[in-house]
Amino acid sequence: LAAVGGLGIVFLAIVLDRLTQSMGTSDTQKPVWTKRGPVGFVLKIIRVNFVNQNEKQKGKK
């Protein structure tokens, strides 16, 4: 039971640390939400595929 409480405290400390770090940085240093996290990963894959398809179509003409 004490281990669960200890892990909860550690998890809370990590979350608070990340939150306060993000509040301390200026907005110009942060990438927009569409370029970070899972959304950024998916959009990057879509962009790369779109560019590759356009290059293939230009090569066929």
Same domain, 56 and 40: yes
For the cut 90, the answer to whether the pLDDT of residue 25 exceeds it is no
Phi, then psi, of 60 in degrees rounded to 5: -80, -25
Q: Both 23 and 37 in a single domain?
A: no
Looking at the fold, whether 58 and 36 belong to one and the same domain comes out as yes
Alpha carbon distance 38, 35 (integer Å): 9
pTM above 0.85, yes or no: no
Range of the domain at 18: 1-27
pLDDT of 50 > 80? The answer is yes
pLDDT of residue 61: 60
- The total number of structural domains in the chain stands at 2
